[in-house]
Structures are given as C-alpha cells and as structure tokens.
Chains A and B, each alone.
Chain A
Amino acid sequence: MQVTVNGDTVQLDPGSSLVDLLRQLHLADAKIAVELNHAIVPRSQYQEQALQDHDQLEIVHAIGGG
C-alpha cells in the first residue's frame, strides 16, 4: 500500500502501523508530531495506529524561527 507523507509518496507493507512507518523513515525516536488525515495522533497511540492505503500524513518538528 502507499501513503502520502509530507507530500511525498511512501510505499508500506500492508497492515503497517504508524510506528512501522516512522521506523522506515528513521523517525521512531525523533521529536515530532504527526497528523493523520488532518487529525493529530497522540504519541502514545503510534504503536496501535493502523494505516490505510492512501492515508495522508504530515510529520513536523521544531526548526529555527523567529
């Protein structure tokens, strides 16, 4: 299946969870926040959050800004 992450297409094994995606992207331990189809997923739910084909995700972090 494929999902869209930050505007890019990402291929995933069927049945993958959010934490599987984050591991694939080397973001499992990163200080991030995740939106799945415009709804924020609390960090405590990454493990059990299932992903579906065509899900839209936004993954953000803090960067320099004024």
Chain B
Amino acid sequence: MTSIDTPLSIAGKEYQSRLIVGSGKYQSFQQNLEALEASGAEMITVAIRRVNLGQNKDEPSLLEIISPSKYTILPNTAGCYTAADAVRTCRMARELLDGHKLVKLEVLGDQKTLYPNVTETLVAAQELIDDGFDVMVYTNDDPLIAKRLEDMGCVAVMPLGAPIGSGLGIRNPYNIRMILENAKVPIIVDAGVGTASDAAIAMELGCEGVLMNTAIAEAKNPILMASAMRKAIESGREAYLAGRMPRRLYASASSPIDGTFF
C-alpha cells in the first residue's frame, strides 16, 4: 500500500486490508483458511445457524479453524427476511462471540434476487444501534437510503454492486459514486463482484473496501483468486489515490512532435 494511504477504520479498529471475505461455499475449512490467508483479509463474515444434534460431534467448528483472536469475525444475518429475525440473530451472535458488537446486517426481500428489504433493514438497523451494536449494513445502491443509514449511526454502509452471488460486477457505478460523494462512513461494495477487475473498479470509484464471498469460493482455484483479489483491491485503491487521467474522445500523442526528422 502507498505511504499516503490511511488504514480502513471501522468502529474504532484499523485494518490494513480493504478486502473483507466470506466463509461460505468453500469445499473445506482448510480451503477456506488458505484462501483467507492468500486474500490478506483481516475480517471474515460468518453465518449463525442451528448446530446439528448428534452429528459430527468430533468435527472442528469454523471458529476453531478461523480464530477470532487473529481475524475480526463479522457475523451476518443472511437468510433473515424480517427485522425481528435479524435482530435475534445478532443477539445470538453477540453471545456466541463473547460480547462482540460488530455485525453485518442484511435483511433480504426476495429469494430470487436476494435484494435487501430496505424498510425492514431500517427498522433492524435502528434497533441494533439502540442495543449497542456496531452495524455494517448491506443495502441497495440508493444514495438516499445509504445516507439515511449513515445518519442513523451505521458504522459502514455496504451497497450491492449486483445481486449476491451473481458475479455481474458493479452494475451501476454512477450510483456508487453518488453514495460516495455524500458519505462520511466507509462505503464498502458488498455483493456482485465476479472477478478481480470488478473489485478494482469498486476501489477506483473511491470505495473504502469490498466484501466478497462467491467470487473467491466459486473460482476454479479459490486460493489463486483470493490472491488476485488482494492485488486488485490494492491496485484499485492506489489508482484512486493517484487520480486517473481525464477521458478524451480523441488521441493525445505521448511522443513529442518536435524533433521529428522525416
């Protein structure tokens, strides 16, 4: 990272990596851990689910492989379609993680699109903030809703680039730009990234980070893709900080005209 950059700061903690990864869809804990290490990410999302009674009692649990002492664990509310379910999930996560306050709030509206249910998201965000949680919130790319979530006190606002797991990339960079223009908390693209260039585009727009799961886990070689994503995030960030050249319709010669001998 360039010396002029500052670390990503979320809820009072600083992160050198601007990549946040998920832990779903991997073939094994070992593959997940290797991808995590290759990604350089310091924060990883987990889901909260029922234990399987009487099954795999000797199998290690995710948190034994991915240590909360080494990584910031970000419990999510994936699968929740109501504010009440999302709040209940976060409270269970807080107990599970010994009082941990940082959560990823997502309240879904529809199984086909996994688009956020924004009205339930707003209700859940307020309830969680009132209960002392630090809320990183998944939302759509609506600049007005993003601002409202920030004003409520969310510690990061995470608009989708495209539907969860779609790999379609940043479908509406202009909306992401509008969100960024008004933001005072980190804006992190959450969902939609398919490959390294998508992550770079999000960072070149000025996002503070990118959260992704499927793009790494469903790559043919997840560990290599995790490494690619690490580089894409760093490249995109550096390009943003460097400030890109203006776009021109016509050519602008790079070699001088003066001194030609023909």
Q: Do A and B bind each other?
A: yes
Chain A interface extent, by class: 20 to 34
Contact B53 A25 (CB under 8 A): yes
How many residues belonging to B are interface residues under a CB distance threshold of 8 Å? 39
Contact B95 A66 (CB under 8 A): no
As a 0/1 sequence over residues 30 to 66 of chain A, the CB contacts with chain B under 8 angstroms (1 = contact) are 1111110000101100000000000000111111111
> Restricting to B13-40, which residues have a CB under 8 Å from any CB of A?
22-26, 32
Tell me, rounded to whole Å, the shortest Cβ–Cβ distance linking A8 to chain B.
6
Contacts of B214 in A (CB 8 A): 66
Q: A31-B61, A31-B64, A60-B49 are in contact. Are A65 and B76 (CB under 8 A)?
A: yes
Contact A8 B53 (CB under 8 A): yes
Return 27 A-B CB contacts under 8 Å, by A number.
A5-B53, A10-B53, A26-B57, A30-B61, A31-B61, A32-B51, A32-B96, A33-B48, A33-B95, A33-B96, A34-B95, A35-B88, A40-B91, A42-B95, A58-B50, A59-B53, A60-B49, A61-B96, A62-B62, A62-B73, A62-B97, A65-B24, A65-B78, A66-B25, A66-B47, A66-B78, A66-B164
Identify the 5 closest CB pairs spanning chains A and B, nearest first. A65-B47, A66-B213, A66-B22, A33-B96, A33-B95
Which residues of chain B have a CB within 8 Å of any CB of chain A?
Answer: 22-26, 32, 45-51, 53-54, 57, 61-64, 73, 75-76, 78, 88, 91-93, 95-98, 164-165, 211-214, 217
